[in-house]
């Protein structure tokens, strides 16, 4: 298990994505799966930084924990913001995405892309930290 810590600011996003990209390549995920994992990580890290830290007037870090187990690449984002489960919000339904852009509600797209891009997404609050867990099966797709 490896842990990398980044400041909870938007300019960390590129580095956080880079970790996801490197790990995905290391375990041999397809280009598509690697991109989708990078996108998922970016979306959740953005939420943590913007809503968990910036808008709440707090500062903190975002840890990226990497683990390979049971044929899975498991990346976990950990932060110290207020407990927030991204799965608790209402996901936009199919109808949202067929609406014309000008009538469309903004929001919900990020979590939608997260869940649809990887094999499994989980959230837990452990030891006073948010843990967003991204699971990609190795050797598929």
> Residues in the site for another protein, rule: CB under 8 A?
10-11, 13-14, 17, 31-32, 35, 38-39, 42-43, 46, 49-50, 96-102, 104, 106, 109-110, 112-113, 116
Which neighbouring-strand residues pair with 126?
129
Residues in the chain: 141
User: Which structure tokens are listed for 138?
Assistant: 């190795």
Q: Are 50 and 121 in contact (CB under 8 A)?
A: no
**Nearest alpha carbon to residue 60 among 32, 79, 35:** 79
CB of 32 to another protein, least distance (A): 7
Helix pair 109-117, 31-47: axis angle to 10 deg: 140
CB of 63 to another protein, least distance (A): 19
CB of 24 to another protein, least distance (A): 13
Nearer to another protein, 17 or 137 (CB): 17
Nearer to another protein, 57 or 100 (CB): 100
CB of 4 to another protein, least distance (A): 18
Nearer to another protein, 100 or 127 (CB): 100
CB of 137 to another protein, least distance (A): 19
Q: Are 99 and 82 in contact (CB under 8 A)?
A: no
Residues 137, 141: Cα–Cα separation, whole Å: 9
User: Which structure tokens are listed for 49?
Assistant: 């930084």
Nearer to another protein, 46 or 72 (CB): 46
Nearer to another protein, 70 or 95 (CB): 95
């Amino acid at each position: 298990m490896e842990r990398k810590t980044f400041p909870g600011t938007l300019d960390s996003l590129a580095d956080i994505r880079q970790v996801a990209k490197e790990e995905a390549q290391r375990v041999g995920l397809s280009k598509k799966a690697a991109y989708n994992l990078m996108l998922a990580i970016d979306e959740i890290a953005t939420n943590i930084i913007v809503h968990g830290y910036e808008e709440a007037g707090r500062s903190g870090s975002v840890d990226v924990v990497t683990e390979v187990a049971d044929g899975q690449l498991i990346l976990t984002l950990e932060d110290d913001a207020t407990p927030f489960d991204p799965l608790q919000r209402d996901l936009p339904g199919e109808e949202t995405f067929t609406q014309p852009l000008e009538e469309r509600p903004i929001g919900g797209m990020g979590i939608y892309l997260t869940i649809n891009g990887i094999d499994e997404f989980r959230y837990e609050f452990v030891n006073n930290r948010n843990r967003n867990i991204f699971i990609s099966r190795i050797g598929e797709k």
